[in-house]
Amino acid sequence: MIPLLMRIDIRGEGRPRGVRLFFPVILAWIVVLALLLAALPFVLVAALATIRRGPGVRLLQLYPALLAVLFSLSGFRVDIASHRDDRVFVSFD
Amino acid sequence: MSEETRKILEMLHEGKIGVEEAEKLLAAVSAPNAPTESPVAATGSKRYLRVQVDPEEGTVGDRVNIRVPMKLIRAGLKLAAFLPRDAQSQVNDALREKGMDLDLSKLTPQDLEELVANLDDLTVNVEGKQKVRIYSE
């Protein structure tokens, strides 16, 4: 499932409260998907123009590969904490 | 209670193993006649690759906890195939410099499945200061 929410928590020395952000990443995906759709005709033309020599069909295969990465981001989590109480936490849920 | 179960519980009581390890061992002991799964098929149940870096007991250090979905690794591997050949050779050269003789273009999803299947739980002690644990769950 596509991630809907991105959580960011950054805390540093002197900033104990830090930055806590819940970002509805679904909004970003809508923009990304719209851009991908807008670029599709140009990609099709480029693929046809380079079908014999060059990237060709691989350009079209890039779309499902990109979408697969997007859809599998859910559950990705990075949490780094130093002994001085600095912390960077990013997760996609 | 079987002899194996008793031994596992004793090891848990003595603190030689943790609760998670004891659970795994008990599960393995309780199903000795279960059909053996091939390592590659076993990766189907593994959803995440975990990398944990913790300071050794009594030392001070940074902590890292990374959880990467297996799906993302597979998708990333497919995406790596779209890297231009020049970039791939640069990555391969950089890996070779670090002592890893690996050709990215020849890495297949099957290789990854086998790697994950065999990477049940790997713990590396770095200079007695940090403990790096890589496992799948």
DSSP string, A7-29: EEEEEETTEEEEEEEEE-THHHH
> Given CB atoms, is B109 within the 8 Å cutoff of chain A?
no
Contact A34, A28 (CB under 8 A): no
Report pLDDT digits (tens) over B19-51. Answer: 777 777 777 766 544 444 444 445 557 788 899
Tally C-beta pairs within 8 A across A and B.
60
Report, as an integer, the average pLDDT of B124-133: 80
Nearest-angstrom CA–CA distance, A68 and A1? 10
What pLDDT does residue B38 have? 46
Q: Give residues with Cβ within 8 angstroms of A8, minimum separation 6.
A: A19, A20, A21, A23, A89, A90
Q: From the CA of A72, how many Å to the nearest CA of chain B?
A: 5
User: How large is the average pLDDT for residues B1-12?
Assistant: 73
Question: CA–CA separation, B73 vs B75, rounded Å?
Answer: 5
Say if residue A92 is exposed, middle or buried (CB neighbours under 10 Å; 0-12, 13-18, 19+).
buried
The interface predicted TM-score of the complex, written ipTM, equals: 0.79
- Give the pLDDT score at A38: 95
Cβ-based contacts of A71 with chain B (< 8 Å): 71, 75
Cβ of A83 and B74 within 8 Å? no
pLDDT tens profile A18-63: 888 898 998 999 999 999 999 999 988 988 888 887 777 778 888 8
pLDDT digits (tens, 9 = 90+) for B53-99: 988 877 788 899 999 998 888 888 888 777 777 888 888 888 888 88
Please check whether residue B87 touches A, CB under 8 A. Answer: no
Between the CA of residue B70 and those of A27, A33, A52, B45, B123, what are the distances in Å?
25, 23, 35, 10, 19
> Which one-letter amino acid corresponds to residue B113?
E
Nearest to B78 by CA among A47, A72, A51: A72
Where do we find the tokens 């719209």?
A: A34
Q: Model-level pTM?
A: 0.67
CB B30 within 8 A of CB B120: no
Question: How many Cα atoms are found within 13 Å in the side-chain-facing hemisphere of A78?
Answer: 7
